[in-house]
Amino acid sequence: MARGPARQRSRERFEERRWELADIAARVFAERGYHDASISELVKATGLQRGGLYYYISSKQELLVLIHQRFMEPLLKQSYMVLDAGKPPEETMRMLAHVLLGSVDRYRNHVTVFLREWRNIRPAPEWDEIINVRKEYENLILRELQKGNEAGVFFISDEKMTLMSLLGMINYTYQWFDPDGRVSVEDLADQMSSIFLYGITRRDRFEQP
Amino acid sequence: MARGPARQRSRERFEERRWELADIAARVFAERGYHDASISELVKATGLQRGGLYYYISSKQELLVLIHQRFMEPLLKQSYMVLDAGKPPEETMRMLAHVLLGSVDRYRNHVTVFLREWRNIRPAPEWDEIINVRKEYENLILRELQKGNEAGVFFISDEKMTLMSLLGMINYTYQWFDPDGRVSVEDLADQMSSIFLYGITRRDRFEQP
């Protein structure tokens, strides 16, 4: 009976190691570019042997898929936790914005590589799964916008375009935000949530400073 | 004295041809990736000979610089025209947003290639110039936000972060917006301007639908 847990632990170690490789690959791809980074460079950065790397992943392309999973899994998990808290739509949206910006900040390399290189995943069989995960996340936010609309808190004429405006505002930080700069991630998330929420909330429902 | 105008015309033709090459290269790089697109492919796409291409540009990297100029020059020019109209800050900001989204839409390939590949320009001597042009554009909007703040129309605590929120919202459309889809560029620009302007304008200064 000991074999079950042992196999389980071995499986977990394997998965953990794959996440580590995703992190290393994200850094290498972000700095060197996906095409310029050779397998040899990846092997060197990971401290593995070439065969060792191929034990965990089957191709460079698979690393791109892993890199996407690496930031989307915790993002979805944390976003569902926010929904589970059952706060009013304004508060929920603010918390979702914090979670998203926190994720772009924490996984900046991963987000950079995905947004720059997703065309290179498209031929992979995993592409459909990636699209589904992204749609799941978008729908989660979309439903919250609809909820706020139906409750008469928000006045949104086009929920999909409003969603994409918010995602743009936050996701684009991968291009410019410096977490060691004057403004902290938390402060920026507050500012962006405020602009966005003042922008979509009925004026009798919010207070301005 | 005829040589002057003739030389001028020849110069203009040369510049026009360079813009055309920038457009073709933007398309090829957007589809194939900067690294994957070979000089031979570019030569083929332009219909020139290899030597002909090198008459107009000195390197693949120079094409990236040209691609950036190609969308930034009209963007700056049109934005200055908006400022010259001397409208109130809310209206000016709305018009600036329209100009920017129109530019991202019209030069989608160029914007895509620049935002994906700017790291490949960084070693070039033209990099400083690119940074200056981008700063000039950002400062132009920043001043308008400040003007609105000083006039008591906007309530912005951090103008730089507010600017970057707007740029993110609009620029990120290169990743997702489909101009042949349900929503037109003009409609989207209106929606984004509304969210943003409701988000930063004192509530006694705007009317909601």
Write a three-state SS string for chain B.
CCHHHHHHHHHHHHHHHHHHHHHHHHHHHHHHCCCCCCHHHHHHHHCCCHHHHHHHCCCHHHHHHHHHHHHHHHHHHHHHHHHHCCCCHHHHHHHHHHHHHHHHHHCHHHHHHHHHHHHHCCCCCCHHHHHHHHHHHHHHHHHHHHHHHHCCCECCCCHHHHHHHHHHHHHCHHHHCCCCCCCCHHHHHHHHHHHHHHHHECHHHCCCC
Phi and psi at B67, nearest 5°, equal -60, -40
Do B188 and A168 touch, CB atoms closer than 8 A?
no
Cβ–Cβ below 8 Å for A192 and B165:
yes
Q: State residue A129's pLDDT score.
A: 95
Tokens read off for B124: 């070039």
pLDDT band at A123 (very low <50, low <70, confident <90, very high): confident
Do B143 and B78 touch, CB atoms closer than 8 A?
no
Q: How far off is chain B from A96, nearest CA to CA, in Å?
A: 16
Q: How far off is chain B from A207, nearest CA to CA, in Å?
A: 9
Average pLDDT of span A144-152:
94
CA dist A177 and A181 (Å) reads: 8
Q: Which residue has the tokens 């981008």?
A: B134
Q: State residue B50's pLDDT score.
A: 86
pLDDT (tens digit per residue) in B132-170: 999 999 999 999 999 999 999 999 999 999 999 999 999
Q: State residue B190's pLDDT score.
A: 96
CA dist A156 and A202 (Å) reads: 9
Do A107 and A66 touch, CB atoms closer than 8 A?
no
Which residues, 6+ apart, have CB-to-CB distance to B34 below 8 Å?
B60, B64, B113, B116, B117, B120
Q: Residue B162: its chain A contacts at CB < 8 A?
A: 191, 195
Q: State residue B204's pLDDT score.
A: 67
Do A46 and A130 touch, CB atoms closer than 8 A?
no
Taking the complete model, does pTM exceed 0.90, yes or no? yes
B35, B172, B200 ranked by CB distance to A168: nearest: B172
Element (H or E) spanning A76, and its range?
Answer: helix A60-84
Q: Residue A172: its chain B contacts at CB < 8 A?
A: 164, 167-169, 171-172
A172, A177, A183 ranked by CB distance to B172: nearest: A172
What would you report as the CA-atom Rg of chain A, rounded to the nearest whole angstrom? 20
Q: Residue B159: its chain A contacts at CB < 8 A?
A: none
Tokens read off for A102: 């926190």
Interface membership of A209 toward B (CB under 8 Å): yes
Which residues, 6+ apart, have CB-to-CB distance to B47 below 8 Å?
none
Q: What b/e sequence results for B37-58 when a residue is b if at least 16 CB atoms lie within 10 Å of its CB, and e otherwise?
A: beeeebbebbebeeeebeebbe
Cβ–Cβ below 8 Å for B33 and A169:
no
Q: Residue A115: its chain B contacts at CB < 8 A?
A: 175
Q: State residue B124's pLDDT score.
A: 87
Average pLDDT of span A44-66:
91
The answer to whether residue A118 scores a pLDDT higher than 90 is yes
Which residues, 6+ apart, have CB-to-CB distance to B191 below 8 Å?
A157, A158, A161, A162, A165, B183
Q: State residue A68's pLDDT score.
A: 97
CA dist B12 and B4 (Å) reads: 12
pLDDT (tens digit per residue) in B53-99: 999 999 999 999 999 999 999 999 999 999 999 999 999 999 999 99
Average pLDDT of span A52-71:
94
Average pLDDT of span A66-81:
97
Q: How far off is chain A from B82, nearest CA to CA, in Å?
A: 23
Q: Residue B120: its chain A contacts at CB < 8 A?
A: 33
Do A113 and A34 touch, CB atoms closer than 8 A?
yes
Q: Which segment of A168-177, B46-55, B81-90 scores lowest on mean pLDDT?
A: B46-55
Q: State residue A205's pLDDT score.
A: 64
Q: How far off is chain B from A93, nearest CA to CA, in Å?
A: 15
Q: What b/e sequence results for A27-44 when a residue is b if at least 16 CB atoms lie within 10 Å of its CB, and e otherwise?
A: bbbbeebbeebeeeebbe
Q: Residue B175: its chain A contacts at CB < 8 A?
A: 115, 168, 171
Q: How far off is chain B from A101, nearest CA to CA, in Å?
A: 12
Nearest CA in chain B to A172: B168
Tokens read off for B208: 């909601």
Phi and psi at B48, nearest 5°, equal -95, 175
Cβ–Cβ below 8 Å for A173 and B168:
yes
CA dist B184 and A103 (Å) reads: 31
3-state DSSP call for residue A154?
strand
CA dist B109 and B146 (Å) reads: 32
Average pLDDT of span A188-195:
96
pLDDT band at B208 (very low <50, low <70, confident <90, very high): low
Q: State residue A84's pLDDT score.
A: 97
Q: Residue A119: its chain B contacts at CB < 8 A?
A: 33
Give the number of beta-carbon pairs within 8 Å between A and B: 100
Q: Chain B window 19-38: which residues touch A at a Cβ cutoff of 8 Å?
A: 33, 35-36
